[in-house]
Amino acid sequence: MQLIIFGAPGAGKGTMAQNIQKFKQFSHISTGDLFRRHIKEKTDLGKLATEYIEKGLLVPDKVTEDLIRHELDMIREDFILDGFPRNIAQAEALDEILQDFGIKLTACVHLDIDPEIVVERLVNRMSCQDCGAPYNLIIKKPKVENVCDECGGQLTRRADDNEETIRHRFTTYHEETAPLIDYYKKQGLLMTVNCNEGILTKLDQVWEELSALDK
C-alpha cells in the first residue's frame, strides 16, 4: 500500500502515520523529519532547510524532490509519505518518480481540521531530543516536567512551533498545499478524514477504507 498523508500544520499527519503502523508495517517518510535530521547533523542541506523552515516557507522543490526520489529508491515497498507533496509541482514530480519506479499510489489521505484547534496543539507539542517520543502538554504530559518517560532524555519544542512561524506555515499551506485536494480528487485518489474530534478514534474506520481500496 502506497499512501500520501497531507493536511495543515498540526493536523496529525505524523500521529496518523505512526498509528497506521498498528495495522501494518510501513516505511514512514516525513520530509519535515528528514530536514530536521539534517539540521541536527548540521549538513549543507540542513543549513539550507533552516532558512526556509524557520520562516514557515517551503524548502525549494528540486531539493525536496531529490530527497524523496532517493528515499523511495531505497524503499519501493509499502510507504506513507507525510508532508510530500506540498504543492502541485511536487505532486507532478512525484507522479514522474512513481512512474519511473513502476509504483501506483493507493490513496491520498487529506486530514481536514479547523485551524483554531491546531494552533493550540502545536504550541503544546514537545518531543524527546534523544529518542523522539512525542508529547503534548494537554493530552500527553510527561510524568516529570521536561523529562521523557521512555528514556529520561530532555524534552524540547520544535523551533517552528511558535505562533508567528505557525501563522506563516498556515498561509503556505492554504496558498500552496490546499490545491492538492482538487489534484488528487481528479485522479480519484482523495480520501478526506475530518480530524476536528481527533483522528485516533477514527483509525479503525480509516484503515478499513484504505484496505478496501487496496483490493
Which residues sit at the interface with ligand AP5, rule CB under 6 A? 7, 9-15, 31-32, 35, 52-53, 56-59, 64, 83-84, 86, 90, 121-122, 125, 134, 136, 139, 169, 198-200
85 preceded by a cis bond (ω within 30 of 0): yes
Q: What's the rounded Cα separation, in Å, for the pair 161 and 147?
A: 19
Q: What's the rounded Cα separation, in Å, for the pair 129 and 12?
A: 20
Residue 9 engages Mg ion in binding (rule: CB under 5 A): no
Residues 6+ apart with CB under 8 A from 17: 5, 26, 28, 30, 80, 82
Q: Is residue 138 within 8 Å of residue 124, measured between CB atoms?
A: yes
Residue 14 engages Mg ion in binding (rule: CB under 5 A): yes
Residue 213's binding partner among ligand AP5, Mg ion, none (Cβ under 5 to 8 angstroms by kind) is: none
- Of 35 and 210, nearer to ligand AP5 (C-beta) is 35
- Of 83 and 206, nearer to ligand AP5 (C-beta) is 83
Amino acid at 143: K
- Of 14 and 56, nearer to Mg ion (C-beta) is 14
| Total residues in contact with Mg ion, by rule CB under 5 A | 2
Radius of gyration of the chain (CA): 17
Active site residues: 13, 86, 125, 158, 169
Residue 183's binding partner among ligand AP5, Mg ion, none (Cβ under 5 to 8 angstroms by kind) is: none
| Contact footprint for Mg ion (CB under 5 A) | 13-14
